[in-house]
Structures are given as C-alpha cells and as structure tokens.
Copies of this chain bind each other. A is one copy, B any other.
Amino acid sequence: MDLKASSILAVGGAEDKVNKRDILERFVREAGGDRARIAILPTASSIPDERANFYQGVFSELGAASQHVPIVTRSDAQSPSHAEAIAQATGVFLTGGDQQRLVEVLSGTRALDAIRDRLTEGAVLAGTSAGASAFSATMIVGGMTGLRPRRDAVRLAPGLGVITRLIIDQHFSQRDRLGRLMTAVALEPQRLGVGIDEDTAILYHGRGEMEVLGSGQVFVLDADGAVVHGLEEPPHSEYFTLAGVVLHVLTHGDRFDVPSRRFVRRNGH
C-alpha cells in the first residue's frame, strides 16, 4: 500500500481518547486510515498489558486494526517475531510511562532497528508523554518545575535519537516545565527545545517541518544565538543568565520549519 513520507507524532500526554480525539484520529489517518495496521508498544508503562488493551480499544473505535507487541524486557525487544510485527505495521505507537525504561529496553535492539526501518519506508511513529520524550537524542528524564533556568533544573540522558534536532518535553504548561527546558537548550543550543502541552502534539515531517495539533500550545525554544553565563561557574547562585533565547508559542495549525528555525505563517494570517 502507499504510504506518505515518513513522519513522527510526538504527543504531550493526556491526549483525548474519548471525545474530541483529533490527535489519535490524525495518527490513524497518517498510518493509512481504515487500512492502517498499528503496532502498540506499551514498553514505557508500568501496566503494559492494560495500556495496550486500552489503546487497542481506542484504535478499534477509530476504525484501525492494531496489535499489542508485548515488549517489556530487552530480551523481548530482541525477539524476531516482535520485530516482524513491527515490520508489518504502518504505524507504531509508544505509550506513556517511564522514558528511561523505554530507552533501556529498546536501544540497540531488533525492535528499534525495525522501527527505524519502517520510518524510512514511510510508516508513522507516534509516542505520547514518555514515548514522546524518548524520541530525542538527548532526552529529559527529570528536573525541577518552575519558570527559572537554574543550574540543577534538568536531568538529561541519551534517548532513542529518532529526532536529533529536538529536545522534547511533555505535560508542559500543566507541569510548569519552562525552566528545565530552558536549562536543557542552554546546555545543548544546537537542538531546539519543544515543550508540548497535554492533548497537544507535533507532527514532524521527514523534510523537517513540524505541524502543531490539538487543544493546547507548543513552546519552541531556540537558544542558538543566546548568551549563557553562570551555568558552568562555581555556584554563587543557583540561577544563571540566558539572554536572547527566541520563544515561539504555537497553536493548532501552526507550522514551524526546524532546519531554518523559523515560524511558517499560516494562510490567512
């Protein structure tokens, strides 16, 4: 069957699964609509069978066939039959849970190779909450809440690296996470920080443009031209200076070109 160019859907968690399911409907549509075959990996979750069953019900209501791929250990992730299940999918869905667990189980395995192969072949990869964070090459695994960039505001770790240009954070304004994302981009200014609200998502297209979906906002932080000082110095204060970071707060329908780091005006605006 024909697939669109590869794309990745990163959801900020708590996407509507009952009423106005715009984000999950878009995922199903990108995966082929009523011909979609979705592989659900509940690897990040502490209750994987329940999560997988739950999403199977939702995708069924949305008219798509889905399969639970029960990967919870590295041994599962090396299983040729699970890799084959992924290879047959037009969409792969990573649930929420713990992004460190997800990366520890998947990195360097047949399952992740199969996901990468399907992406290049045009399948759509989606992750919500922890599943979205894990897409980054440098991944946020924890940190402080609040507005303020501060030396110890964020804990970073290697992620799956399917999107190297972005550091993704989720449940963003609901959990008050701007300070930790500012700290992350101060440390790695070559990457854009992308903070995604609940019931909100970015659809990242192969060519580098991303599109905002859902009911909340997406915060994009560009620290490429910023001046940082006090971050590496002996701490006389926990706070540091971050001058000249560019912030874009985007809503449904907005587009942003990642390689050029520019907002793309919508038609009619």
Q: Report which A residues bind B (CB closer than 8 A).
A: 146-149, 172-173, 176, 178-179, 182, 197, 215-217, 219, 227, 229-230, 237, 239-252, 254, 256, 263, 265-266, 269
Option from B147, B172, B230 in Cβ contact (under 8 Å) with A219? B147
Compute how far the CA of A245 lies from the CA of B172 in the bound complex, rounded to whole angstroms.
18
Query: Is A251 within 8 A of B239, CB to CB?
Result: yes
Interface centre among A176, A215, A242, A243 (most CB of B within 10 A): A243
B216 touches A239 (CB 8 A): yes
Shortest Cβ distance from residue A8 to the other chain B in the assembled complex, whole angstroms: 22
User: How far, in whole Å, are A251 and B146 apart by their CA atoms in the complex?
Assistant: 16
**Cβ 8 A contact of A215, one of B237, B241, B263, B269:** B237
Question: Given that A148-B173, A173-B148, A178-B178 are known contacts, is A252 also in contact with B229, CB under 8 Å in the complex?
Answer: no
Counting from the closest, the 3 A-B pairs by CB-CB distance are A243-B263, A147-B173, A243-B248
Contacts of A176 in B (CB 8 A): 146-147, 176
Copy total for this chain: 2
User: Smallest Cβ distance from A257 to chain B, in angstroms?
Assistant: 12
Determine whether the beta carbon of B230 is less than 8 Å from that of A148: no
Q: A159 CA to B240 CA in the complex, in Å?
A: 31
Residues of B within 8 Å of A243, CB to CB, are 248-250, 254, 256, 263
* Given contact pairs A147-B173, A148-B197, A230-B251, a sample of 6 additional A-B residue pairs in the complex whose CB atoms are under 8 Å apart: A147-B176, A148-B249, A149-B217, A215-B237, A242-B247, A243-B256
Q: Per a CB cutoff under 8 Å, which of B227, B239, B256 touches A217? A: B239
Contact B263 A227 (CB under 8 A): yes
* Residues of chain B lying within 8 A (CB to CB) of residue A249: 148-149, 182, 241-243, 245
- Contacting pair A263 B247 (CB below 8 A): no
Q: Are B251 and A237 neighbours in the complex by a CB distance under 8 Å?
A: yes
Known: A147-B172, A147-B173, A227-B265. A241 touches B219 (CB 8 A): no
